[in-house]
Structure 1
């Protein structure tokens, strides 16, 4: 019974496949997505104009990095607790 459980576990792990790495670098706010036989991201830009200069003449597009480390979510309404 134990061997059967280990065999099922091994088959499950092998069938999942390799995990993909994060394509965005969280240190930079702007990424350049380069299209071609191998589409990839270059996240090494600090502004959209800087990225657009690198994308000029290439099959590429500038995108905002969703994993930027200093990014902050918009804050909602603050709720204050009433003290009586």
Structure 2
């Protein structure tokens, strides 16, 4: 009984710490969107390939189209990599 009294608050503390330190999921846009029906523009952009999108919209009165963020180049520009510094050549 004494172990249960100690274990329960410890477990509750671990659960609370887990919730406090978790980060929210980040949305990621994929190149293909399911559009039409119940989806507003640009739609459900969760497909890496056109075939994945087609399989998802089959029988749902939806259609697939390019994600406008990809089609019109509105995705963030990747940062250039820093230049590598060359080692000085030791004289012979």
Shared fold, TM over 0.5: no
Question: Which structure's residues are more often helix, by fraction?
Answer: 2
TM-score (norm 1): 0.45
TM-score (norm 2): 0.41
* Higher-RCO chain (CA-CA 8 Å, sequence separation at least 6): 1
